[in-house]
Amino acid sequence: MNAIAITAGTLFTPAARIDDPLLLLEDSRIVEVTSRRDREIPSGFRQVDFGAGTLVPGYIDIHIHGGAGHDVMQPDSDALPAIQSILARHGVTGYLPTTITAPVDETLFALERLANTIDKCVHADGHPRSSDTPSLQAQPLGIHIEGPFLSHKRRGVHPPEFLQKPTVQLLDRMREAARGHIKLMTIAPEIEGALEVITQAVRLGICISLGHSDAQMDVARCALAAGARHATHTFNAMRPLNHRDPGILGFVLSESQLSADIIADGIHVDPEVVNIFFRSKGIDRAVLITDALSATGMPDGHYRLGSLDIEVYEGRCTSNGTLAGSVLTMDKAVRNAMHFARLDLQQALPSATRNPAGVVGLAQERGVLAPGATADIVVLNQHRQVIKTIVRGQGV
């Protein structure tokens, strides 16, 4: 057994702040969270001290297409390890590789490859295969399907020729290819067949997220009744809010049963609108995502998003003039949320930790620093920059 006692200046978990903390780990799990004022380091535990650093739960990104020059859908054995390494450097300990609309066979093939990676990363008992992760890497927690069940009008850069009518049969084919690893699916609820697919997906344990949609408010309400409980990159690729026609955006902002995510890069959404989003959704329903592309961590230039050519210039990603993902990292997203929405660290943290974990059904073991939770930890400096990432107890 690998027993480690981590000490630092401060510990933040979404529910509490502890000064002079003592965090006890055994292998990949947290066994105790306390203060050095109340507890001595137990015999047999090796101390690792991070001085004045701040301990927070590992960040979780539920919407990411790539990074470090690689796309999650590309058939390259080096792609996911490279993406996972850059994620870990920015504090992400768990993520959902996210597909983009593509030909059905290509999507199914990508889902099979992603499922292989997920299966290789984790033993049946839930512990990491250290031999398969020679460098510290974020762990895939499941798959996010973004497309092909999207609105033509609000498709963004998703290729229109590959969009599909929602059917339970195609959902079943995708789920079979992914071997049950689909955790999240973005769908436009107004498309014919969407409500039936939403009902079936929820029955199968998939979280349905409303997005890339031109739906009216009453249709969005029907989707909630069918089991939808999240919304994808709020404001982007959505019917705009009108004071006489609130539409899906009005529903997303006002419905307390619906969590929602946002790209807080200052490009996709104006900083003041990020503030409005946090005020509308509240600390417990707001989720930060990056929607990051292969260009993340790379210089300006031309990159790929699925089959699309993406131009990146001064942090702005476009395809034929349309915004196409971002080069945002999650640590930057947290700092931006603090600045844009005038939040302190404890208020901002749930949107990158506990809340995304809850979206994908992992709230009891991810996104918190608590006894029994997975030992996913980030150490921040006084400027809220990442100085150390610990994934399932590894990397200490």
pLDDT, tens digit, for every residue of 343-379? 999 999 999 999 999 999 999 899 999 999 999 999 9
- pLDDT exceeds 90 at position 39: yes
In terms of Cα–Cα distance, which of 227, 226, 147, 136 is closest to 182? 147
Which member of 261, 291, 331, 376 is catalytic? 291
- pLDDT at position 306: 84
**Whether 78 is catalytic:** no
**Cβ burial, residue 125 (10 Å; 0-12/13-18/19+):** exposed
**Alpha carbons 379 and 385: distance in angstroms, whole number:** 8
**Alpha carbons 388 and 396: distance in angstroms, whole number:** 8
CATH fit for domain 1-58+367-396, picks 2.60.40.10, 3.40.50.720, 3.40.1010.10, 2.30.40.10: 2.30.40.10
- pLDDT at position 16: 87
What is the maximal distance between C-alpha atoms in the chain? 66
- pLDDT exceeds 70 at position 127: no
pLDDT, tens digit, for every residue of 246-295? 999 999 999 999 999 999 999 999 999 999 999 999 999 999 999 999 99
Asked, as a colleague might, if the bond just before 148 is cis with ω within 30 of 0, I would say yes
- pLDDT exceeds 70 at position 119: yes
Phi first, then psi: give them for residue 139, nearest 5 degrees. -105, 135
CATH fit for domain 59-364, picks 3.40.50.720, 3.40.50.1000, 3.30.410.40, 3.20.20.140: 3.20.20.140
Radius of gyration of the chain from Cα atoms?
Answer: 20
pTM of the model: 0.95
**Alpha carbons 278 and 333: distance in angstroms, whole number:** 13
Locate the domains of the chain by residue range: 1-58+367-396, 59-364
In terms of Cα–Cα distance, which of 221, 279, 222 is closest to 255? 221
Which element (helix H / strand E) includes 276? helix 271-281
Pairing of strands 230-231, 207-210: parallel
